[in-house]
Structure 1
């Protein structure tokens, strides 16, 4: 019997085979979600599930479509299941309130567990902890959806499925070709749905406003019915005038050709029109009020122009003579200009105090308008004024009596206050000695104050020559 050890060269090949088997077994184990032997255990939590028909060790754990870990174990807990999750280090920890939903990757039923983190930051679930059963969202399966329908609806769905089967029997190739050529439409639909998703807030407002519009239309059903009836009448009239509309449509192309030529002409004149338009921009706001006023006075202006037509023959004769008169009057106007500059302020003052001036002239004319019939039958005129006496009629006063209410420069409209008491120019004399009290008492002294004339506020007007 040979007791020597075999040479090392004869052991290399079996050793390499054994090592290859071990590495291959570990790789296969890892591919199916198993743990590497002697590997440090990661962050793990438990998730209680009502059922887990398509969840196995090695299934994905995802957040927002991104894989964050694997399912390491699925065990039964009575009538429920318990899944153990191994989360990769960059995604730990899982927060309390995270919601878990069992979903399927494909029609074959391959499942994964989707986690939805809470909106606000909560406490971290420790390693080995578990999610609450209240945070598990049950998966919505097709049989659950169909189970909500009543028997009649389920029967209708079966009839619909059988009808679709009969309609598509033998047309599988056409259906496949249709679905294959629908890619551009589905791509456009995906883009449209993406835009609608980004405009979700506006879309919700549109739907809410649509409900408001429909409610308003419901409240105004009569008006809506009248509008629809009126639209029907419009369409009926349009149909009755179909021949006229046809002529209009036929005449439209030549009109467009002429309009194109006009547009070219306007384009050539653009260099001149642009400065004119810029100049008109300043006066454009006043055009509309001016046109409205012109529209209001247009009838009167038409009548005036019609009346002017009768005077044109006389104007042909009189205007040349008027021109000669104005030419000869130029020296007289030059001499009259300084006089008018002095007289204009006086006329302006008389216009301001016209009430007082008219009262004064009326009083003077009334005083000198007394008449009586003489013995010889002739009418005689006399002054019928009455001489009045009061306590200031006696001369010799050194100071104004405190009862004096004189006003040398009354402001316009001062007689309107005669019922409540006329205003005085000033009241500085009310404390003077009262040598002779008046009969009937003394009215209160009210100061008139300054008033405005020709833009200047004074106690009495100061006349200046009018500007040249």
Structure 2
């Protein structure tokens, strides 16, 4: 019975350890193997491509080499195959930081907890710098220190006050230097890009010079025409107001045009077929159009004299118009008798169509009958009918009708 609580406690302990050991969802763990990790401690900053990306979790030894475990934020994870790490100086004096360079994005992803190859450059310590000084340099340095001691002697209080007041300034300067040391890779990249930009400008010096000259000339022209520009700007509000009114009327016009376009759509859909049918006709018209050139030339000559003819006819047209207006009633009266007039002209034309060696001649046949007597009391002989008011066209056997098929009204 006592084994059950012990078992429960063991499972809880393992779960707690797993929770403590398991990485957070917001962190990406990775390992770096280095020949040494001098100056690198837990909590040291980790840079990825020059940006602050995490910190060192712990530093341990494995197979005689330094094993650095780091944790990166998800913004810089995961890393890719080909990534490398190196220890760089955070400042001239102080701890170091780990600089990681990620591999190409197209390379395979390094899983969480993977290992990267690292390298360490030979650090330059202060004692190595002092050892590099030759005897003469050390002697001058010693005389400098003694001179400084004589200068400071008796002024210790003033120097103390100066150092105390310079503390905030030196602290601010230290922060600036620390920021420069932390953002060194980013600053380096910025300087490289500026160098590339300056190099490009130098290579295109002539083009830049032409652009600057053009801008200078354009500025001069603008300065000379500022009065016209000022007048145009004064008119601009009224122009914008008119444009606003015009644009305000556009929606109504569009609403009216859209139904019209919808109605025209069937006709426009037929236009391609009509165009295909017209293509042979237009091809046949080309020779005819070519033959019309002489006619068009003659027409051009005629049109040159047409204005004078129209000017001359302008004086005669009013009188002609009044004459036609006065003849209109008579013509309207004679119009139903058109068959008789045409028949009379046809009879006279056929009678005078004979021709001999002397010229044209006409034969006239005068019939005589019972109705020819002058003293006829009005009694018609058998077989004859008297019609004192014949209908128009009845004599010619063609009763008159108008264009609508109606008789005389």
Instruction: Give the TM-score normalised by structure 1.
Output: 0.27
Instruction: Give the TM-score normalised by structure 2.
Output: 0.30
Q: Which has the larger radius of gyration?
A: 2
Pick 1 or 2: higher relative contact order, CA cutoff 8 A, min separation 6. Answer: 2
